[in-house]
Amino acid sequence: MKSVARARAEPNLAPGRPALSEAARLPRLSGLSRYSMFVGTMKVILPAMAVALILLVVAWPQFSANKENFRIGISQLGFGRPENLSMLNARFDGLDDRDRPFTITSDVATQSRDDENLIDLELPKGDMTLSDGAWLAVTARAGRYDRKKRLLDLNGAVSLFHDKGFELRTEAARIDLVDASAEGNMPVRGQGTFGQIESEGFRVLDRGRRIIFTGRSRLTLLPSAEGASR
């Protein structure tokens, strides 16, 4: 009687086979189903992690205990005017009062904090066209350009070159780009095909047609220039 009752309770068991466990009776997921579940889970987890990292980066400075560290908050960023602007290899082009072109270049140009029209120049170079079609070139260690008045103040190792072969060297000079004039009150040395000259200052007038040497002056003529003047 015991054997018959056991057979009825377990009708699916074949003789001689062990009983199946409860886990074995559950249906197994296929590989495709497991992959789909993994992709769906990552679509939720990854965006959540990205949002959490962004919030952490934004909020981290607020939890920093060291107040001496350099920190930039959103409230500190503004759109106000900067104190000054700098430019490498700057170039300024313009026209004088007779529509003749002039050009100023500089290795570094920095706008003044007090006046936006004033530009401080490092290693400036300039050239302008004179009345007779000739040109005058200037170089210096430093300078300042007034864009409104079109004045160029040069300092340190100032050199003025005329394309006729004349050259002036001094320590300070002012170039008026409106009327193509120049002047300086520092000792100056000049040289050209005529010889050499030294003086306490100079003036370039009439768009380069006249050069006046001021103060004590000394002129040394070359022999060829003396013969040409006779």
Question: Each residue of 116-161: pLDDT tens digit?
Answer: 899 999 999 999 887 677 788 999 999 999 999 999 999 999 999 9
Count CB neighbours of 27 within 10 A.
5
pLDDT at 128: 85
**Selection from 157, 163, 164, 208 nearest residue 183 by Cα:** 208
Lowest mean pLDDT among 107-111, 140-144, 207-211, 222-226: 222-226
Give me the CATH number covering residue 181: 2.60.450.10
Lowest mean pLDDT among 43-47, 84-88, 89-93, 189-193: 43-47
Assigned domain for 45 exists: no
Assigned domain for 67 exists: no
pLDDT at 130: 75
Output the six-digit token pair for 28.
């197994």
Q: Which amino acid is at 16?
A: G
Assigned domain for 71 exists: no
Assigned domain for 215 exists: yes
Number of domains in the chain: 1
Please state, in angstroms and rounded to a whole number, the distance separating the CA atoms of residues 65 and 58: 15
Q: Which residues constitute the domain of residue 201?
A: 86-229
Residue linked to tokens 């082009």? 93
Assigned domain for 14 exists: no
Cross-strand partners of 126: 104, 138
Assigned domain for 41 exists: no
